């Protein structure tokens, strides 16, 4: 019951936060120089006053800013994210179109980074000070420090251009007529490089964090007690150390999960992955206000949602947190 009330009050606060974010985003965006009518007219390579005026009227930009803001907020309260005049489609459709590709990429990267990161962290902590530990930590440091786009380009160069093992970009083979299982395999092949590139950074973060946290907890008194009881090393590590050491990792995973929907602009760009990150970036360049605001709002909602989920996971992992709250 207390959990339910806690969640409800969190949701109410979340709705207010979202509204504030929407207003803030709107103001920031309109403060940036340039507007979509001039960009669209500019791309045509010719424009006269009539054209700019027509476009502004169509986009609703001829109205005072506060009226535009009011209309926008009234829209999102009714779950209407507005219309992209540039792409001639409702924003919600544009986002829905890109969502599956983005979720496939970010979720895969998330799962890879979390499982491998924790496993390697535990392994490194168990072998602390040995050569294999140094090797793992060095590798993690490398992945942590390498810029993502460079790693992505190198991965394409090696695995796609030189070795020819994997496709270098795209979501699937264009015009292949694959269906069912063959299509799934095809998509999987295209997924490997971007998912690994995106996952490596967070894997390194999780690994370092797990390792450090494990080492810290392993000196605690209750671990000594467990050893004194005669429990085996693996059992102590799994039941006693890991369970207590995992909380910071959960916090960070919650943060990463919040970004799942926001997409990964760099990875999606280098690998031509048709996801939300690119939609946002391209809309930003074109000042397609409604689309950018829509992506921002959906991402913000996800961050808030996953914060709540993280809190619930805390309570499951460590029941003492629920009792205190």
Partner 1 sequence: MKHLKATTFLIAAALAAPLAAQEAGGRLDIVVQPEPPSLMLGLVQNGPTQLVAGDIYEGLLRYGTDLQPQPLLAKSWEISDDGLTYTFTLNEGVKWHDGEDFTAEDVVFSADVFLRETHARLRASLAYVESITAPDDTTVVFQLKEPFGPFISVFETGTMPIVPKHIYEGTDFANNEMNATPIGTGPFKFEAWEKGSYIHLVKNEDYYVDGLPYLDEVYYRVIPDAAARAVAFETGEVDVLPGGSVENWDVPRLTEMDNVCSTGSGWEFFAPHAWMWLNNREGPTSDVRFRQAVMYAMDRDFQRDVVWNGFGNVATGPVSSKTNFYSDDVTIYDHNPEKAEELLAEMGYDGEEVRLLPLPYGETWQRWAEAIRQNLSEVGINVSIDSTDVAGWNEKTSQWDYDMAFTYLYQYGDPALGVSRNYTADRIQKGSPWNNVEGYDNPELDEKWFAAATMISPEERQAAYNEIQQEIVDDVPVAWLLELEFPTIYRCDIKDLVTTGIGVNDGPRNAWIEQ
Question: C-beta of 234: minimal distance to partner 1 in Å?
Answer: 45
Q: Is 211 in the site for partner 1 (CB under 8 A)?
A: no
Site pattern 258..297 for partner 1 (x: CB under 8 A): ----------xxxxxxxx--xx--x--xxx----------
Q: Is 221 in the site for partner 1 (CB under 8 A)?
A: no
Task: Output 35 or 318, the one with its CB closest to partner 1.
Answer: 35
- Rounded to 5°, angle at Cα 93 from 91 and 99: 105
For residue 309, give the nearest of 5, 2, 11, 110 by alpha carbon. Answer: 11
Pairing of strands 83-84, 89-90: antiparallel
Q: Is 230 in the site for partner 1 (CB under 8 A)?
A: no
Applying CB under 8 A, which of residues 4, 31, 49, 66 lies at the interface with partner 1? 49
**Contacts to partner 1 from residues 85-144, by CB under 8 A:** 86-89, 94, 97-98, 101
* 100: helix, strand or coil: helix
Q: Is 81 in the site for partner 1 (CB under 8 A)?
A: no
The C-alpha atoms of residue 261 and residue 297 are separated, in whole angstroms, by 11
Residue 187, both tokens: 């998509």
Q: Which residue in this structure is represented by tokens 């005026």?
A: 53
Q: Which stretch binds partner 1 (CB under 8 A): 117-125, 164-172, 179-187, 220-228?
A: 164-172
- Which residues, at least 6 apart from 191, have a Cβ–Cβ distance to it below 8 Å? 104, 105, 108
Task: Output 102 or 113, the one with its CB closest to partner 1.
Answer: 102
Q: Is 177 in the site for partner 1 (CB under 8 A)?
A: no
Q: Is 216 in the site for partner 1 (CB under 8 A)?
A: no
Phi-psi region of 64 (alpha: psi -120 to 50; beta: other; left: phi over 0): beta
Question: C-beta of 96: minimal distance to partner 1 in Å?
Answer: 11
Residue 210, both tokens: 């797990």
Question: C-beta of 78: minimal distance to partner 1 in Å?
Answer: 21
Q: Which helix (H) or strand (E) holds 90?
A: strand 89-90
The CA–CA distances, whole Å, from 303 to 1, 81, 108, 250 equal 25, 18, 18, 14
Question: C-beta of 46: minimal distance to partner 1 in Å?
Answer: 4
Residues that bind partner 1 (CB under 8 A): 32-35, 38-52, 58, 86-89, 94, 97-98, 101, 153, 156-157, 160-161, 164, 167-171, 174-175, 268-275, 278-279, 282, 285-287
């Amino acid at each position: 019951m207390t959990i339910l009330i806690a969640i409800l009050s969190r949701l109410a606060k979340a709705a207010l936060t979202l509204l504030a974010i929407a207003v803030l985003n709107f103001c920031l965006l309109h403060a940036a120089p340039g507007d979509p009518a001039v960009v669209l007219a500019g791309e045509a390579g010719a424009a006269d006053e009539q054209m700019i005026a027509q476009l502004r009227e169509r986009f609703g930009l001829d109205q005072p800013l506060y009226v535009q803001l009011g209309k926008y907020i009234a829209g999102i309260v009714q779950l209407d994210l507005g219309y992209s005049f540039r792409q001639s489609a409702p924003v919600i459709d544009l986002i829905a179109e890109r969502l599956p590709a983005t979720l496939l990429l970010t979720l895969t990267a998330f799962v890879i980074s979390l499982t491998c990161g924790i496993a390697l962290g535990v392994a490194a902590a168990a072998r602390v000070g040995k050569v294999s530990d140094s090797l793992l930590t060095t590798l993690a440091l490398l992945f942590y420090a390498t810029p993502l786009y460079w790693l992505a380009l190198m991965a394409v160069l090696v695995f796609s251009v030189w070795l020819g093992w994997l496709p270098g970009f795209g979501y699937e083979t264009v015009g292949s007529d694959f269906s069912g299982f063959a299509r799934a395999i095809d998509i999987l092949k295209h997924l490997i490089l971007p998912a690994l590139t995106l996952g490596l950074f967070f894997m390194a973060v999780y690994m370092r964090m797990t390792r450090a946290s494990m080492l810290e907890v392993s000196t605690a008194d209750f671990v000594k007690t467990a050893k004194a009881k005669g429990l085996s090393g693996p059992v102590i590590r799994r039941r006693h150390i890991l369970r207590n050491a995992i909380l910071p990792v959960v916090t960070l995973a919650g943060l990463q999960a919040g970004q799942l929907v926001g997409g990964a602009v760099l990875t999606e760009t280098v690998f031509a992955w048709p996801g939300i990150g690119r939609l946002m970036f391209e809309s930003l360049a074109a000042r397609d206000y409604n689309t950018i605001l829509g992506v921002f709002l959906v991402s913000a909602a996800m961050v808030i949602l996953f914060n709540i989920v993280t809190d619930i996971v805390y309570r499951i992992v460590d029941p003492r947190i629920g009792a205190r709250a």
